[in-house]
Amino acid sequence: MPRVAFTQNLQRHLACDVSMVGGSTIAEALDEVFRDNQTLRGYILDDSGGVRKHIAVYINNEMITDRRHLSDPVCETDEVYVMQALSGG
């Protein structure tokens, strides 16, 4: 089962424990995480279901390529990381 983890920065503000989920795409994996946490879903995804601009999602250290439909495949042994994209100046 894919493992979905959120950075400590997100964990400080939202309930988002590490989860072992099913699914063959990033959309299916995240849907399982968000099933019981709509507040987290609203922070990570926009109204059309795409990844918000301030969020980065990685599968095994590779940024996902489909931020709109979340069609990137995930395998049983994959690790998904969701983080807030930070910038400074």
pLDDT tens figures, 14-43: 888 899 999 999 999 999 999 988 999 999
pLDDT digits over 46-59, tens only? Answer: 999 999 999 999 99
Question: What are the extents of the domains in the chain?
Answer: 3-84
What's this model's pTM, rounded to 2 decimal places? 0.90
Task: List, for residues 60-83, the tens digit of each pLDDT value.
Answer: 999 999 999 999 999 999 999 999
What CATH number has the domain spanning 3-84? 3.10.20.30
Q: Measure the CA–CA gap between 20 and 48, rounded to whole angstroms.
A: 25
- Chain-centroid distance, C-alpha 24: 14
